[in-house]
Amino acid sequence: MQHLFLMEFFGRGQSGRSYAVTERVRLFKNLNKDVKLVTFDYNPQYEEIWREAAPDVMAHHVNMMDYFEVEAVAGGVRVERLHDARQVTIVDKVFNQHDELVGEIYYGLDNKSVSRRGAILYNRDGSERMRLLYVQNKVTQVLLWDGGMLHVLSFEAMVKYFLDKLTAEEPSIMYADVLEETMTQAYGSVENAEVKVAYIHADHHVAHHQILVGFRNLLRAKKFDWIVTGTQTQAIDLRTEWGAQTVDIAPASVTVPDAVTDLADRRAMSVVVVTRFDRIKRVEDMIAAVVKAHKQNRDINLQLYGTVSDQAYYTQLQQQIADAHATGYITFNGATTDAIGTFATGQVTIFTSRTEGFGRTILESEAAGTPVISYDIDYGPRAIIGKAGKLVADGDVNALANAIVMALADKRWREKASEAGREQAREYDAEHVQAKWLDLITKLEATHENHVD
């Protein structure tokens, strides 16, 4: 029985989706399951990216292009980039380890931004293997030579064609990390999978009766046998509203250290945040709240850590701090590879996402014994903060600022919240998450055995 985790793309600098899927692949491998990460988009550097993310599970990655023996993916090791007179990229020529041309990617300008227009991928004998046509960087048509026949397909139809082939080779359980509606439809249409499981993140179902359109269609079609959610509340809501067969399993586990720095030994009056600088995180609200809190207590400071996914937004945040004359107490500190250790330098953290897939940084803060002050949004914060922090009304910057001031003034509350947070985080350690997956796997494999009987 092979367990296939499907993901549209997998790359550097992504959100928690890549992290979570990588962890699931590793967890299934630890359970001695035949597990594979399955990706679909064309990227000559995919193996390099996957080796960086998960070197211990590299052999368990199957890319659709690689499956069809497209040399530009399987063997592409050198890219020669050609530019026009304005230094705009017009062609990437991809060569394999034998320095043979195995792919060409053609570019054009869309609203002054460089985007792919087409790609031709070659066999080693020079014959054409595949042609991809793009509109605004999205593949709209594929011409594939397979088994001596030319197949003209939409990208989603090619995904289904590929998955039907892959699942026909041996009994398969598919786990779709759903994102795009058209891709989800392709996953749901696969005929050979024994069981189909969809993972819906919390931000794909934003409060009662308000699921995003694509996932409403997913649930209405009932093409997936199980829906996995991050929290129990969401699982109950989906089961109640849609009659779906659901189970709640955290998208990622957290390691709780045996000991952390005592609050008394950390930076005084410090709010520490580890995030991705993206508009969905509403970092501007964090800054505005700390500026307000600082007016009540001049020792309050904000330490920001994280990667930049939106440079224009990051520049906007820098300007916001400068305009508020807050550069002396609000600081950007770059990315960190040790989130728990970083959280353990502060007295509290704040969480202001517009929506959230789960809120892994909440767990990391709790593991560090750092209380969490968060907007009250479905489903992550409400489900996993509990006594480890405070919830304030979504979008209420004044309430957030007041909560910061009160938390930093109340040492006893912080100590209790710190202890409660570490206890709460232990419920999401690797052992607990693995046990939940094992319970589901047992049910899924029993379904296959029943089919065989």
Q: What is the DSSP string of 61-91?
A: EEEHHHHTT-HHHHTEEEEEEEE-TT--EEE
Exposed (0-12), middle (13-18) or buried (19+): which is 52, by Cβ within 10 Å?
exposed
Q: What's residue 453's pLDDT?
A: 52
What is the average pLDDT across 140-150?
91
Q: Which of 222, 248, 274 is the last residue of a domain?
A: 248
- Are 369 and 342 in a shared domain? yes
User: Per mean pLDDT, which of 67-71, 121-125, 372-376 is the most reliable?
Assistant: 372-376
Q: Which of 191, 219, 248 is the last residue of a domain?
A: 248
Residue with tokens 């940084």: 361
When comparing pLDDT for 23 and 305, which is higher? 305
Kindly report the pTM of this predicted structure: 0.82
Q: Take residue 359 and report the two structure tokens written for it.
A: 């809120």
Helix (H, G, I), strand (E, B) or coil at 109: strand
- Are 238 and 317 in a shared domain? no
Exposed (0-12), middle (13-18) or buried (19+): which is 85, by Cβ within 10 Å?
exposed
Q: Take residue 53 and report the two structure tokens written for it.
A: 């993310």
Exposed (0-12), middle (13-18) or buried (19+): which is 175, by Cβ within 10 Å?
buried
111: left (phi over 0), alpha (psi -120 to 50) or beta: left
Query: Is the pLDDT score of 30 beyond 90?
Result: no
Query: Is the pLDDT score of 33 beyond 90?
Result: yes
Instruction: Quickly count: other Cβ atoms within 10 Å of residue 14's Cβ.
Output: 16
Query: Is the pLDDT score of 208 beyond 50?
Result: no
| 442 falls within a domain | no
| 449 falls within a domain | no
What is the average pLDDT across 263-291?
96
Query: Is the pLDDT score of 218 beyond 90?
Result: no
Give the span between the Cα atoms of 84 and 132, in whole angstroms: 22
| 438 falls within a domain | no
Interval 356-375: pLDDT, tens: 767 889 999 999 999 999 99
Give the span between the Cα atoms of 421 and 364, in whole angstroms: 10
- Are 396 and 303 in a shared domain? yes
Residue with tokens 């904000």: 302
Interval 70-98: pLDDT, tens: 877 766 678 888 888 777 778 989 888 88
Least confident of 47-51, 312-316, 364-368, 423-427: 47-51
**pLDDT bracket for residue 209 (50, 70, 90):** very low
Query: Is the pLDDT score of 230 beyond 80?
Result: yes
Q: Take residue 16 and report the two structure tokens written for it.
A: 């928690």
Q: In the chain, pLDDT over 70 holds for what percent of residues?
A: 91
Q: Take residue 223 and report the two structure tokens written for it.
A: 């093409």
Residue 67, preceding peptide bond in cis (omega within 30° of 0): no
- Are 331 and 411 in a shared domain? yes
- Are 234 and 318 in a shared domain? no
Q: Which of 248, 283, 302 is the last residue of a domain?
A: 248
Q: What's the total number of domains in the chain?
A: 2
Q: Take residue 421 and report the two structure tokens written for it.
A: 């947070």
Please report the beta strands in 85-237, taking only residues with DSSP state E, as ranges in sequence order: 89-96, 101-110, 113-122, 128-135, 138-146, 149-153, 172-177, 195-199, 226-229
Q: What's residue 61's pLDDT?
A: 83
- Are 90 and 157 in a shared domain? yes
- Are 215 and 270 in a shared domain? no
- Are 233 and 283 in a shared domain? no
Average pLDDT value over all residues in the chain: 88
Q: What's residue 51's pLDDT?
A: 73
Instruction: Quickly count: other Cβ atoms within 10 Å of residue 316's Cβ.
Output: 14
Helix (H, G, I), strand (E, B) or coil at 110: strand
The boundaries of the domain holding residue 152 are 2-248
Q: Considering only CA atoms, which of 320, 429, 304, 317 is closest in space to residue 366?
A: 429
| 433 falls within a domain | no
Q: Which residues of 15-38 are buried (b: 16+ CB within 10 A; e: fewer)?
A: bbbbebbbbbbbbbbeeebebbbb
Query: Is the pLDDT score of 111 beyond 80?
Result: no
Q: In the chain, pLDDT over 90 holds for what percent of residues?
A: 56
Give the span between the Cα atoms of 353 and 275, in whole angstroms: 10
| 447 falls within a domain | no
C-alpha torsion sign, points 338, 307, 397, 425? negative
Give the span between the Cα atoms of 277 and 332, in whole angstroms: 11
| 320 falls within a domain | yes
Query: Is the pLDDT score of 335 beyond 80?
Result: yes
Q: Domain containing 415 — which CATH number?
A: 3.40.50.2000
| 23 falls within a domain | yes
- Are 34 and 152 in a shared domain? yes
Interval 239-253: pLDDT, tens: 988 899 999 998 888
In this structure, are strands 138-146 and 149-153 parallel, antiparallel, or unpaired?
antiparallel
- Are 284 and 185 in a shared domain? no
Q: Take residue 449 and report the two structure tokens written for it.
A: 């055995």
Rounded to 5 degrees, what are φ and ψ at 15?
-80, -165
Q: Tally the residues of the chain.
A: 453
- Are 198 and 118 in a shared domain? yes
- Are 274 and 355 in a shared domain? yes
Q: What's residue 448's pLDDT?
A: 61
| 448 falls within a domain | no
Residue 234, C-beta contacts closer than 8 angstroms, at least 6 positions apart: 200, 202, 205, 248, 378, 379, 383
Q: What's residue 273's pLDDT?
A: 98
